[in-house]
């Protein structure tokens, strides 16, 4: 049975599947004598991004085609700028769709790929957040100590106090009041895995009779969690402050390298990403471009700051992910430099045509639909012109009537009729 693994409705099942993959990688490495969570995280990250590569390729291809489409899309936006009537909005939507069909891509293509990728990456984060819940080899290292803790009188109160003193954060929160032995055992493992190096000393003070078992477990777990001299359960800030006080400056530098490398790899990844096309003065696109620039500037800084306060293991994951994405992006850029976009467009158009034929939509139907809708746009314009002409004509008629009124002789029938009309108009205004 898994420990307190994440049980969200969407990410929970995905995290369990990814956990099986992570467990398999760790088991294979154990067979050749390498039991290391940090190295397993790196290999696992490479495997996952390799699996996601087809989606990444499609997304990058869509991005390249989007750059080529931008001038036409911006021209359509400029054409209908400020027009909010239904006919204009429908025409804008149809013309935009026509551009996408021209290049053989779907308007929702990039969104669909992102919707597939994001849950996988978020679930991957959940696996790294609580490795023992998914990797049985890591969990087994805690089993002897957990059994002895549960055999100690009053262990529930001691563990509750330990969590409070050390501010250990688990998800869900560790609960030592439940009666289920399995749930209690899982909660203890969750807490032990989250504890930093100083926490193990506090644990020995809480359970002095278990000092030998605690030391043995700590040494085993430290070996498994050790990566380049750092314990992946510790935060870089904890490592820096502890070792600075004891003048172990080498470990201070190693801990500092985690956020620094995370920042640099994020910057490299952003630099290699295809840049958005110029907006040519379009207000909405200018705003979107500015927001993207701001995000590109803040994300590496956010990664740098966060890496000080999260476990080293998560920092390794961020660095490994950024490095893998950068390598993929480098070769994708080289690939797209060599290929002819016109060939891709032609192939996409053929695929789109075959897809429409399967759906029973002929090319002449699309053309006729476009003509019908164009006619609908033109008809209101014609009506508007007619309305404008009749208004002009009405003004001319009024001028003629006023001229005739002025020429009417006093006492004539025309003069008397004018007097009656003026009287009626004055009364209607009251």
Number of domains in the chain: 1
* Residue 399 located in a structural domain: yes
373 or 269: whose pLDDT is higher? Answer: 269
**Dist. CA 13–CA 21, nearest whole Å:** 13
Question: Which residue's entry shows tokens 């805690």?
Answer: 142
As a whole-number percent, the residues of the chain with pLDDT over 70 amount to 73
The conformational region for residue 281 under phi > 0 = left, psi -120 to 50 = alpha, else beta, is left
Q: What is the pLDDT of residues 127-138, one digit of tens each?
A: 877 888 888 888
Q: How far is CA 121 from CA 18, 114, 128, 304, in A?
A: 10, 10, 11, 19
Strand 230-231 vs strand 226-227: parallel, antiparallel, or unpaired? Answer: antiparallel
pLDDT at residue 385, as a whole number: 46
Per-residue pLDDT reduced to its tens digit, 38-79 = 899 899 889 988 988 888 888 888 777 777 778 888 888 888
User: pLDDT tens digits for 148-176?
Assistant: 999 888 888 888 888 888 877 666 667 78
> pLDDT tens, 106-125?
666 556 666 777 787 788 77
Res. 215 pLDDT band, cuts 50 70 90: very high
Residue 73 lies in a domain: no
Q: Is residue 372 part of a domain?
A: yes
The band of 297, judged by pLDDT with boundaries at 50, 70 and 90, is confident
Model pLDDT, residue 384: 47
pLDDT of residue 239: 86
Q: What does the pLDDT read at residue 394?
A: 59
Residue 401 binned pLDDT confidence (cut-offs 50, 70, 90): low
**CA distances from residue 284 to 62, 291, 295, 413 in whole angstroms, order as listed:** 21, 11, 17, 66
At 125 the pLDDT is 77
Structural domain includes residue 20: no
Query: Assign residue 234 a region: left if phi > 0, alpha if psi is -120 to 50, beta otherwise?
Result: beta
Q: Which of 258, 191, 202 is nearest to 229 (CA)?
A: 258
Q: Residues of the chain with pLDDT > 90: what percent?
A: 14
Q: Is residue 382 part of a domain?
A: yes
Mean pLDDT of 179-194: 85
Confidence of residue 92 (pLDDT cuts 50, 70, 90): confident
Q: Give the domain extent around 388.
A: 363-429
Instruction: Give ∠ CA 172-176-177 in degrees, rounded to 5.
Output: 110
pLDDT value of position 229: 87
Q: Is 381 contained in some domain?
A: yes
Question: What pLDDT, on the 0 to 100 scale, is given for residue 25?
Answer: 92
Please determine, for residue 268, whether its predicted confidence score (pLDDT) is greater than 90. yes
Q: Which of these, 35, 43, 38, lies nearest to 314 by C-alpha position? A: 38
- Give the model's pLDDT for residue 253: 93
- Mean pLDDT for the stretch of residues 293-304: 85
Residue 390 lies in a domain: yes
178-187, 296-305, 366-375: least confident range: 366-375
Residue 17 falls inside a structural domain: no
Asked which of 43-47, 262-266, 390-394 is least confident by mean pLDDT, the reply is: 390-394
Q: What pLDDT, on a 0 to 100 scale, did the predictor assign at position 373? A: 47
pLDDT category, 279, cuts 50, 70, 90? very low
């Amino acid at each position: 049975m898994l420990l307190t693994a994440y049980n969200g409705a969407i990410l929970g099942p995905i995290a369990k599947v990814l956990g099986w993959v992570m467990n398999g990688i760790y088991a294979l490495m154990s067979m050749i004598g390498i039991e290391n969570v940090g190295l397993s995280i790196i290999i696992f990250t490479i495997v996952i991004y390799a699996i996601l590569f087809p989606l990444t390729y499609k997304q990058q291809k869509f991005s390249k085609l989007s750059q080529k489409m931008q001038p036409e899309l911006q021209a359509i936006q400029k054409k209908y700028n400020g027009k909010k009537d239904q006919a204009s909005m429908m025409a804008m939507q149809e013309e935009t769709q026509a551009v996408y069909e021209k290049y053989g891509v779907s308007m929702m293509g990039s969104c669909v790929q992102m919707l597939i990728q994001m849950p996988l990456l978020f679930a991957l984060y959940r696996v790294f957040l609580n490795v023992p819940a998914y990797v049985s080899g890591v969990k087994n290292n805690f089993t002897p100590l957990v059994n002895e803790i549960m055999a100690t009188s009053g262990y529930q109160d001691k563990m509750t106090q330990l969590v409070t003193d050390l501010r250990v954060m688990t998800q869900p929160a560790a609960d030592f009041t439940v009666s289920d032995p399995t749930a209690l055992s899982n909660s203890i493992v969750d807490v032990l895995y989250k504890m930093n190096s100083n926490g193990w000393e506090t644990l020995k003070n809480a359970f002095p009779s278990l000092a030998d078992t605690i030391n043995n477990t700590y040494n085993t777990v430290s070996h498994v969690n050790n990566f380049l001299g750092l314990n992946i359960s510790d935060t870089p800030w904890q490592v820096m402050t502890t070792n600075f006080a004891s003048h172990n400056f080498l470990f201070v530098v190693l801990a500092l390298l985690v956020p620094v490398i995370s920042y640099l790899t994020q910057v490299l990844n952003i630099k290699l990403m295809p840049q958005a096309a110029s907006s040519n003065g379009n207000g909405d696109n200018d705003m979107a471009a500015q927001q993207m620039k701001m995000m590109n500037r803040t994300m590496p800084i956010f990664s740098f700051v966060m890496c000080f306060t999260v476990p080293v293991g998560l920092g390794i994951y961020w660095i490994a992910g950024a490095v893998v994405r950068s390598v993929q992006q480098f070769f994708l850029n080289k690939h797209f430099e060599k290929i002819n976009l016109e060939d891709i467009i032609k192939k996409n158009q053929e695929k789109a045509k075959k897809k429409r034929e399967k759906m029973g939509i002929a090319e002449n139907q699309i053309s006729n639909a476009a003509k019908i809708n164009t006619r609908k746009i033109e008809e209101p314009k014609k009506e508007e012109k007619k309305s404008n002409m009749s208004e002009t004509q009405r003004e001319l008629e009024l001028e003629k009537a006023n001229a005739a009124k002025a020429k009417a002789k006093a006492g004539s029938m025309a003069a008397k009729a004018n007097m009656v009309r003026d009287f009626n108009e004055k009364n209607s205004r009251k």
